[in-house]
Amino acid sequence: MPAMNSHIIVLSAVLMLLQAGCVTQQQISYQRDVVPIIENKCLPCHIPPDGTGYLRSQLNMNSYELIMEGNVYGPVIVPGDSRHSILNMLVEGRIDISVRTPHPLTAMEIKTLRLWVDQGAMNN
C-alpha cells in the first residue's frame, strides 16, 4: 500500500505542474485590441455616408453598438461563436470573394478578432 500512495502523490504532483504550466488565453479587450484593427482596416470603408463598404453593406463600424447592431441583413457578430459570425467569415476568407474585405488583416489581427468574438464580443 505505501508504494501505491507514493505513486498517487507523484502523479498528483505531476498533474499540478502540468496545469500550472498551461498557457492561459489572453482576455481580449475591445478598446485595447479590437478598436485599433477596426480603425485601421474597417473604418476607411465602413463609415457613412460615403464609405464604399457602408454603401455596399449598410454596415456602419463607427462604434461598438453599431457593429453589434449589424446591417440590413442582420447581425454580423454572434457573441461566443466566431465560426458563425459574418465578420470572422469575411476576414478569414471563408466567404464569397466578391464580399471580402479589400484590406486584408494579418494573422494576428484575425486571431484577435476570433478570440474577441469567442470570448463574448464584450465592450471592454
Full DSSP string of 82-109: GGG-HHHHHHTT-S-GGGS-SSPPPHHH
Task: Enumerate residues 6+ apart whose C-beta is below 8 A from 116.
Answer: 28, 30, 33, 34, 122
CA distance 3 to 38: 59
pTM of the model: 0.78
- Whether the per-residue pLDDT at 105 is higher than 80: the answer is yes
pLDDT digit string, tens, across residues 31-70 = 999 999 999 999 999 999 999 999 999 999 999 999 999 9
The band of 15, judged by pLDDT with boundaries at 50, 70 and 90, is very low
Half-sphere exposure for 87 (CA within 13 Å, toward CB): 34
Residue 78: φ, ψ to 5°: -110, 100
pLDDT in tens, 68-97: 999 999 999 999 999 999 999 999 999 887
